């Protein structure tokens, strides 16, 4: 097996605007998933709705990528959540907790000044392969 292997699935959005990054990289027994925006596969438009709908779409994207890598949401060990507004923290958490299992991963959550296409959040993840 190579030292690192790109993970790619059509069930999640391609790299945003053709940027030079992989959806994920599998290496050293881990899967490192790039930040996921609330985009549906094949679309460049942020999903309609608020923080709950956008968080759900981000997790759908994370799930698709992790499953392509032979992993899953229950194997996530670390996430970083980027929120455009920390006032959305509680709404994001309500959806987040339904996707991360009984042993939630380590996490950092930060407020950022802007995200692509006006997204309300972006989440990246590290999972066991």
pLDDT at position 1 over 70: no
Q: CATH assignment of 5-128?
A: 3.30.1330.40
In this prediction, residue 17 has a pLDDT band, given cuts at 50, 70 and 90, of confident
Average pLDDT rounded to a whole number, residues 64-81: 98
Q: How far apart are the first and last CA of the chain?
A: 13
User: pLDDT tens digit string along 107-125?
Assistant: 999 999 999 999 999 999 9
Identify whether the C-beta of residue 26 lies closer than 8 Å to the C-beta of residue 4.
yes
Neighbours of 94 (CB within 10 A): 12
pLDDT at 103: 94
What SS3 class is residue 55?
helix
pLDDT at 32: 98
**Closest among 46, 4, 2, 41 to 22, alpha carbons compared:** 4
pLDDT at 20: 93
**Closest among 115, 52, 46 to 88, alpha carbons compared:** 52
Q: What is the DSSP letter of 126?
A: E
pTM (two decimals): 0.95
User: pLDDT tens digit string along 24-36?
Assistant: 999 999 999 999 9
pLDDT at 18: 76
Domain extents in the chain: 5-128
| CA dist., res. 50 & res. 87, Å (int) | 12
């Amino acid at each position: 097996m190579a030292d690192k292997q790109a993970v790619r699935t059509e069930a999640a959005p391609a790299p945003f605007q053709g940027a030079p990054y992989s959806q994920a990289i599998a290496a050293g027994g881990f899967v490192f998933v790039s930040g996921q925006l609330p985009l549906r596969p094949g679309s460049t438009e942020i999903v309609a709705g608020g923080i709950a709908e956008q968080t759900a779409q981000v997790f759908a994207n994370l799930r698709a990528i992790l499953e392509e890598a032979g992993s899953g949401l229950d194997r996530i060990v670390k996430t970083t959540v980027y929120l455009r507004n920390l006032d959305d923290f509680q709404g994001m958490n309500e959806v987040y907790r339904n996707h991360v299992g009984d042993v939630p991963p380590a996490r950092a959550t930060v407020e950022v000044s802007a995200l692509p296409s006006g997204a309300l959040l972006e989440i990246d993840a590290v999972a066991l392969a």
